[in-house]
A and B are shown apart, each in its own frame.
Chain A
Amino acid sequence: MRDNPYAGQDSHLIKRFEEGDGSAFEELFMKYQSKVFNTCYRMLGNYQDASDMAQEVFIRAYKSLRGFRGDSQFYTWLYRITMNSCLNKLKSQKPTLSFGDYDISQEHGRQTLGSSPDRGPLKRLEDKELQRYVQNGINSLSDKYRSAIVLRDIQGLRYQEIAEILGCSLEAIRSCLYRARQKLRKELRDIMPHIINGVKRIEK
């Protein structure tokens, strides 16, 4: 019932791509660049790495798109490439990001398409300081936990899709998310009162 609204057109675009229509890839790119980039950004924790990684992901996708069998959805396939690339990068650069690596000045992007901060019950987290804490909290998680949080809470994917992307069971995803959230909560405990106030302030 909650079908991905993007899925239908994707197979059409891929078909066009296979028939040699270069613009089909551009359309796929336009559609998914934000998802890929933001996944990289939250996984890697900084803008520069995320840009490089997103570039790499799309190049990789371009080169292997012809081999795409269509037995999974295109977007889960693309997420899989994204996650594998990010996880490899994280593995190669151990020890992972230390606290404070996250540079808030990079949060310059739009908050949401066309939104302005004073608009209605817009609840994007607006306090830069808080954003920094939360991203640092995410950075402090192990790769596995971070993946689960990013795919579920930031990218909004379903458990089933996450399991498919990360190649593990539904049960594993459940327990992973449970632990990840507990851990994140511990990390954020010090600033919890601010968070609660922050949410309230933004809501009102």
Chain B
Amino acid sequence: MKCEDIQRLFSDYVDNELDFKENKLVKKHLSECRTCQEEWRELFQVVKITRSLPEIEPPSDLFQRVREGVSPFFKTRRILRSIARPLSFRVPAWGLAAVVLLMVLYLGRIFPFPQETAKLGIEGIPPSSTESDGARISEGKETTLAEVPSLDVIPHKKELPGKEREEPIRAKEEFEQEDRLAPGQSSRAPLAKVDDRDGVLSFRSVSRMKQTNVSITGPIMARKILNMVKPEYPNWAKEREVEGAVEIMCAVLPSGEVATPAIWLRSEWPELDQSVVQAIGEWRFEPIPGDEVQAGIVRIAFDFSED
């Protein structure tokens, strides 16, 4: 295949829309051809930069205007205006608290649990989390998924035929293979139970990326996590060394289940964001007595830097 033909595939390659064969072809060619590498890098930057454009906040009176436009249709005056978002985002100091409130109000609309169960855990927010936006995350509970690579304990993992013997040593490789064999299915299965002795949260399995950092802020940071599902980090992302952080806002029910995980900070890669949302939706925190719904932000950072 000529360089020209390969370059025609770049656009689809960015989006991971090539079939297996073409994908391999592009990869191979890229490893050999300098001209195409340059070409690829430039195109990739263009896409990246387009995706980096900020999200613009809609005018705050937009709903008002829509309502006026449909007023004959619209009889009922609703209180929703009072939940309007501008309030919460213009005042950074109130940011988290206001959003927690908003979330719970919103939650209340979807799951009509009795009013008194929707008690907020705002008192539980450590001071650092409300002081400033910037400090919020960095002072949260930090942990690294790849921190304790104890290969021997990999619960829930299907063994590939004929490899039982080599399990411990080949664990990492199989991990990747598993992705390749069943893309999008297996890798989001609960990979590991979490051990939080010494206050260190970690996956007891091998992470196949350099690092996946998890940090948690808000009232939920005090709670143990019984089941931490690792977000799928797809092969295409790995090949392109896609880095980024995704933050998920979520409410944790007294039972420990995570309700309505929502993207709080997105990366440039929608597929990656989705995989994080899905994984966190499957997390399980330790149950607590009472009926307090706690909120918090989970930040997952995929980082490729060498140790």
Contacts and interface: CB of A to CB of B under 8 A. Distances in A.
A174 interface: yes
Interface in B231-284: 243-245, 264-268, 270-271, 273-274, 277-278
A3 to B, nearest CB: 8
B291 interface: no
A50 B17 CA distance: 31
A116 B134 contact: yes
8 cross-chain pairs, A with B, having the tightest CB-CB distances, nearest first: A156-B270, A125-B52, A109-B57, A109-B56, A37-B58, A178-B11, A59-B69, A1-B184
Contact of B73 (A62, A118, A202, A203): A62
B139 interface: no
Interface in B95-144: 95-96, 99, 109-110, 132-134, 137-138
Contacts of B57: 34, 108-110
- Pick from B52, B69, B70, B244 the residue with the most CB of A within 10 Å: B52
Interface stretch (A67-75, A77-85, A93-101, A128-136): A128-136
A135 B85 CA distance: 26
Contacts of B28: none
A55 B69 contact: yes
- Pick from B42, B57, B66 the residue with the most CB of A within 10 Å: B66
B131 to A, nearest CB: 12
A33 B78 contact: no
Contacts of A198: 49
A85 to B, nearest CB: 13
A107 B80 CA distance: 27
Interface string B13-48: 011010000000000000000000000001101111
A23 to B, nearest CB: 5
A110 B53 contact: no
B289 interface: no
Contacts of B266: 112
Contacts of B59: 37, 51
A59 B46 contact: no
Count class of interface residues, chain B? 35 or more
A9 B265 contact: no
Contact of B244 (A108, A113, A121): A121
Interface residues of A, number: 72
Contacts of B277: 5
Interface string A47-68: 1001100111011001100000
A22 B75 contact: yes
A47 to B, nearest CB: 7
A93 B53 CA distance: 25
B29 to A, nearest CB: 17
A23 B58 contact: no
A195 B12 CA distance: 22
B78 A22 contact: yes
Contacts of B46: 181, 184-185, 188, 195
B55 A119 contact: no
Contact of A152 (B15, B56, B184): B15
Contact of A27 (B62, B109, B132): B109
A101 to B, nearest CB: 16
B303 interface: yes
B17 A63 contact: no
B276 to A, nearest CB: 11
A2 to B, nearest CB: 6
17 contacts: A1-B185, A5-B274, A22-B75, A30-B85, A42-B53, A62-B66, A109-B57, A110-B55, A111-B55, A114-B133, A116-B134, A119-B134, A120-B301, A123-B52, A131-B53, A157-B270, A202-B52
